[in-house]
Structures are given as structure tokens and as C-alpha cells.
């Protein structure tokens, strides 16, 4: 039997993140032995946190503000999506200790548009305005 899988969300600030609640629900729902932890890391401590990941016992995790670009620069390997965006929000720690980075922001955003507007929305799209604070 495989051991408990540990994952995280890292950011600064991070206390507001609902990710542990959401991911914890799905771990329980699917009977997966695991945890999803919130980790506060200040910008000046992020590189040290990142370098310790292979020995940390974490399988991977999510990256949020303000660390997405710093994580991008530190990854051993990157998805084509992450390279195009220039930032990562998902890290996977390989068995060899190498850290792979991906970015799921764009696919998540377009999947929501597909669901809300229908699959043909790009052909009907006009000008769009995206507002955000993160």
C-alpha cells in the first residue's frame, strides 16, 4: 500500500486560502490517504523553501502570490504552458528529486468560459476585460 501523499499551497499571505478545505474534501471523497497543507513563506525565504522540497516529504503543491515567477525560475523542468506564461502554479516533486513546474491558470480559465459560454465562444468573442488582484 502506498503511503500518505502530502501536498501544499505556498504563498504570502496564505491564511485566507481555501485550497486546503477544497482539496481536503476531494481527498476524503475519493478515499485518498493524504493531506493538503497551507504554508506561509515570505518572498525572501522562498528559494530556501523550494530547495528543501525534495527532502520535505511533499509530492508537490500549488504556488500562489507572490511566488509564481520565482518558482518558474527555480524549476528543473517546465511544461510548454508554463514556458509560454512565464510562471508556475503547480509543482511536482519527482522520485529523483527534480521539480517539474506547470501552469493550470489558463486552462482553468478557458474551461470556465467553455462551460459558461459554450464551446464555440472563441469564434464569437469580442473584446474582453479581465480584472483581478492576484
Q: Nearest CA to 104 among 62, 67, 75, 72? A: 62
- Alpha-carbon distance of 21 to 17, in angstroms, equals 9
Query: Is 68 one of the catalytic residues?
Result: yes
- Alpha-carbon distance of 32 to 35, in angstroms, equals 9
- Alpha-carbon distance of 4 to 28, in angstroms, equals 12
Instruction: Find the catalytic residue in 9, 10, 68, 78.
Output: 68
Residues acting as catalytic residues? 68
Amino acid at each position: 500500500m502506498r503511503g500518505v501523499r502530502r501536498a501544499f499551497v505556498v504563498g504570502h499571505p496564505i491564511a485566507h486560502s481555501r485550497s486546503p478545505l477544497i482539496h481536503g474534501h476531494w481527498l476524503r471523497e475519493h478515499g485518498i490517504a493524504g493531506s493538503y497543507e497551507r504554508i506561509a513563506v515570505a518572498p525572501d525565504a522562498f528559494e530556501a523553501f523550494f530547495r528543501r522540497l525534495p527532502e520535505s516529504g511533499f509530492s508537490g503543491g500549488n504556488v500562489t502570490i507572490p511566488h509564481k515567477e520565482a518558482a518558474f525560475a527555480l524549476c528543473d523542468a517546465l511544461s510548454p504552458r508554463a514556458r509560454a506564461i512565464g510562471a508556475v502554479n503547480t509543482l511536482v516533486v519527482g522520485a529523483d528529486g527534480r521539480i517539474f513546474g506547470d501552469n493550470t491558470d489558463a486552462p482553468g480559465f478557458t474551461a470556465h468560459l467553455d462551460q459558461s459560454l459554450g464551446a464555440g465562444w472563441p469564434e464569437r468573442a469580442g473584446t474582453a476585460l479581465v480584472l483581478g488582484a492576484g
